[in-house]
């Protein structure tokens, strides 16, 4: 099945109106939020006030959300995720949320590792609301080639990524190719070979229930 996604800027005054309009025109579509493009900083209370109703509308109407969370602020990371969990997700109905690029903007940088560590710490502490489906999308993370200033992973980094994938759990990792960086087939092959996934594990990574 193919599900289209529409995008809005959650900081705009007309954000909720546009969200409702798009949902009425395409009830089965998902919502893409790009916090870098929109310059959303959840560490700013005024941004939380504007973003929370967008998530609440998505939750109430069964709209899955794909979130590019990284806003490129030098201190982005653990605190931002804590605000998302404690001030937004904990206060709304169950929803499906996928966080793009393992919380970063592509590649396997120290920022990406720190974000995944923060996600795992929150999960271990029981702070991730269990009613929600929260997955990390691995698109453009496992690079076997240099791309737009982002270096390919070293052998050591591939091993580290494999450890993180194991810790997050394949059922909590969403597959994405970030086309045209890779086609679906190319990226499946890269992850399968570099992470040493079995056929069954590869299937679990690629196929997710609606």
In this structure, how many other beta carbons lie within 10 angstroms of the beta carbon of residue 161?
Answer: 22
Residue with tokens 């966080």: 99
Helix or strand holding residue 144 (H, E)? none
User: Could you tell me the mean pLDDT of each successive run of 10 residues in the chain, 210 residues long?
Assistant: 93 98 98 98 98 98 98 95 97 97 96 97 94 96 93 97 98 94 96 97 86
> For the chain, what's the residue count?
210
Tokens of 154: 């070293």
Residue with tokens 């954000």: 15
Tokens of 75: 């201190």
| pLDDT for residue 209 | 65
| pLDDT for residue 190 | 98
| pLDDT for residue 210 | 60
| pLDDT for residue 56 | 98
């Amino acid at each position: 099945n193919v599900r289209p996604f529409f995008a809005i800027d959650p900081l705009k005054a007309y954000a909720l109106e546009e969200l409702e309009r798009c949902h009425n025109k395409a009830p089965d579509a998902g919502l893409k939020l790009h916090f870098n493009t929109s310059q959303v900083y959840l560490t700013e209370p005024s941004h939380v006030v504007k973003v929370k109703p967008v998530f609440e509308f998505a939750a109430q109407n069964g709209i899955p959300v794909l979130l590019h969370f990284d806003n490129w602020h030098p201190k982005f990371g653990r605190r931002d995720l804590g605000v998302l969990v404690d001030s937004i997700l904990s206060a709304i109905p169950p929803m499906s949320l996928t966080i793009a690029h393992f919380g970063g903007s592509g590649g396997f940088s120290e920022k990406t590792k720190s974000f995944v560590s923060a996600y795992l710490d929150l999960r271990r502490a029981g702070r991730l609301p269990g009613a929600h489906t929260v997955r990390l999308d691995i698109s453009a993370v496992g690079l076997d080639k240099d791309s737009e200033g982002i270096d390919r992973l070293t052998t050591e980094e591939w091993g580290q990524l494999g450890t993180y994938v194991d810790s997050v759990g394949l059922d909590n990792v969403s597959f994405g190719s970030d086309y045209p960086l890779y086609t679906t087939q190319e990226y499946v092959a890269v992850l399968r070979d570099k992470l040493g996934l079995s056929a069954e594990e590869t299937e679990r990574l690629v196929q997710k229930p609606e």
